[in-house]
Amino acid sequence: MRYFSGTVSHQLDGKNRIRIPAKFRTDLGSEFYFMAGAQGSIYVLPKEALEERLEALRSVKSSDPVKMQAKRKIQSSVEKVTEDEQNRTLLSAFLREHAHIQKDIVTIGMGDYLEIWAKERFEAYSAQMSYDDAYALVDF
């Protein structure tokens, strides 16, 4: 089973490409996906993790317009990642805008997936909660 943890700071290059940090890359496998994530992040999901998440959407009934809207929103943001020979991948304009990414980014391990954040947004988001509050909230 894969388990991603930790934080790595890095940058987009001049052509809006990134490299998934080496500490995470091997465990992603040969097929993985980007997806617009919550709170302005980008999810990076190995194929199996994406399939597990999308399974929940299969039960959405077309007679429920609100859930269908959510399903469309989520599924339309999924992008299969293709890397060049130097393990770089283009971060689409859509995902850069979603995450407000200009140049500096952080990639964080979230267990079975990764999140990519604009560095400034992640720092501001993280500052909203102390480690003491985090441990108390999740009963760790």
CB 10 within 8 A of CB 107: yes
pLDDT in tens, 89-118: 999 999 999 999 999 999 999 999 999 999
pLDDT at residue 1, rounded to an integer: 66
Residue 100, Ramachandran bin (φ over 0: left; ψ between -120 and 50: alpha; else beta):
left
pLDDT at residue 61, rounded to an integer: 93
- The alpha carbons of the chain give a radius of gyration, in whole angstroms, of 16
pLDDT in tens, 8-52: 999 999 999 999 999 999 899 999 999 999 999 999 999 999 999
DSSP letters spanning 7-58:
EEEEE--TTSEEE--HHHHHHH-S-EEEEE-GGG-EEEEEHHHHHHHHHGGG
CB 105 within 8 A of CB 12: yes
Structural domains in the chain?
7-138 (3.40.1550.20)
Alpha helices in 47-129 (DSSP H): 47-55, 65-76, 93-99, 119-126
> Cα(42)–Cα(96) distance, rounded to whole angstroms?
9
Q: What's the pTM?
A: 0.92
> Cα(28)–Cα(51) distance, rounded to whole angstroms?
14
